[in-house]
């Protein structure tokens, strides 16, 4: 497919990726849109840099959630550690309220 007036060269994509410190593989981005004629959602891409920044935002590593396992009423439950911290803080629970071990796991690890 031929380049439309607003489509970049691979070198331009590589330079832009380096300029903004993107973890996106420039060749992957370039080939993806080159194969589609620089069209997204049925419309020609007017600003490929904006599309590239969107890919970059989606490529950033997301923090991994930490879970703790709680035995409750004869079953094991995995709970998002950060959500549990928020709940405990909201209710002002102390180590005496929830137990030293649970408190240590939540707030000191």
Kindly state whether residue 36 falls inside one of the protein's structural domains. yes
Kindly state whether residue 92 falls inside one of the protein's structural domains. yes
What are the backbone dihedrals phi and psi of residue 3, each rounded to the nearest 5 degrees, phi first? -75, 135
| Whether residues 21 and 51 fall in one domain | yes
| Whether residues 16 and 44 fall in one domain | yes
Number of domains in the chain: 2
Q: What is the pLDDT of residue 2?
A: 45
Domain that residue 95 falls in: 67-107
Kindly state whether residue 5 falls inside one of the protein's structural domains. no
| Cβ pair 16, 52 in contact under 8 A | yes
Residue 99, by phi and psi: left (phi above 0), alpha (psi -120 to 50) or beta? left
What digits encode the pLDDT tens for the residues 21-71? 999 999 999 999 999 999 999 999 999 999 999 999 988 666 677 776 766
Kindly state whether residue 1 falls inside one of the protein's structural domains. no
Cα–Cα distance for residue pair 104/63, rounded to 1 Å: 21
| Whether residues 100 and 74 fall in one domain | yes
């Amino acid at each position: 497919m031929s380049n439309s007036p607003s489509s970049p060269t691979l070198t331009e994509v590589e330079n832009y990726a380096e300029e903004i410190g993107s973890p996106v593989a420039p060749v992957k981005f370039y080939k993806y849109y080159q194969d589609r004629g620089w069209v997204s959602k049925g419309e020609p891409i007017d600003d490929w840099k904006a599309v590239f920044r969107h890919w970059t935002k989606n490529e950033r590593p997301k923090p991994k959630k930490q879970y703790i396992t709680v035995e409750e009423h004869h079953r094991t439950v995995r709970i998002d550690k950060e959500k549990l911290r928020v709940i405990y803080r909201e209710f002002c629970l102390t180590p005496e309220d929830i137990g030293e071990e649970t408190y240590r796991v939540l707030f000191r690890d």
